[in-house]
Amino acid sequence: METFWAAGFTGTSLDDLAAATGMNRPSLYAAFGDKKSIYLKSLDLYTESLREALRGIIQADVALADGLAAFYRGGIELYMSGEKGPRGCFVSCTAPAEAAVDDDIKAALSGVLGEIDRGLELLYRQAQKRGEISREADAAALARLAGAVLHSLALRARAGASRAELQAIALEAAKTIR
């Protein structure tokens, strides 16, 4: 995953993956399949961490702004954690270009985005039940908007935005998207 994250799908060769895993190419193929299979497994692994983060925030049943701020804070920490500088989000920084030419990656990207949307929608529905936001508010639309902020934070991190800039965006979004 780290190798794909650094260079993207196209920029990662089988030799890069072999070096990263310490396996020769035949062993790599035997264990994990072709390059796309390895990428999709990496995407699944990353997606599981997103699921866990969303589950934790939903189960905490905190105020909407606090839940969004915590979700964004976790994203920012991850996006800024690259060894060679901010790396952004594995999904949004590797999958979109390939999704244009590969149906399997397109489906995986759509699936991840859908999971984020559904998880954030649950956060908004909790807020509706608590009376924090109007019951008439479109929780699904607000969730997609909140997800769009997350993706923007990832791209901005990769483009060199400072942690302080990202945190300011995240805090304002957490207060505003209601």
| Per-residue pLDDT reduced to its tens digit, 53-91 | 999 999 999 999 999 999 999 999 999 998 888 999 999
C-alpha torsion angle, residues 25, 28, 29, 33 (rounded to 10): -140
Rounded to the nearest integer, the mean pLDDT of the chain is 95
Q: For the chain, what percent of residues have pLDDT higher than 70?
A: 100
- Flag the least confident range among 34-38, 82-86, 90-94: 82-86
Residue 51 pLDDT more than 90? yes
- Tell me what the mean pLDDT of segment 19-46 comes to: 93
Give dist(CA 128, CA 133) in Å, integer: 5
What is the distance between the alpha carbons of residues 35 and 28, in angstroms, rounded to a whole number?
9
pLDDT at 29 over 90: no
Q: How confident is the model at residue 148 (pLDDT cuts 50, 70, 90)?
A: very high
Residues 77, 163 contacting (CB under 8 angstroms): no
What is the set of domains in the chain, with CATH numbers?
A: 40-176 (1.10.357.10)
- By the 10 Å C-beta count (0-12 exposed, 13-18 middle, 19+ buried), 174 is classed as buried
- What's the pLDDT score for residue 84? 85
- Each residue of 93-102: b (16+ CB within 10 Å) or e? bbbeebbeeb
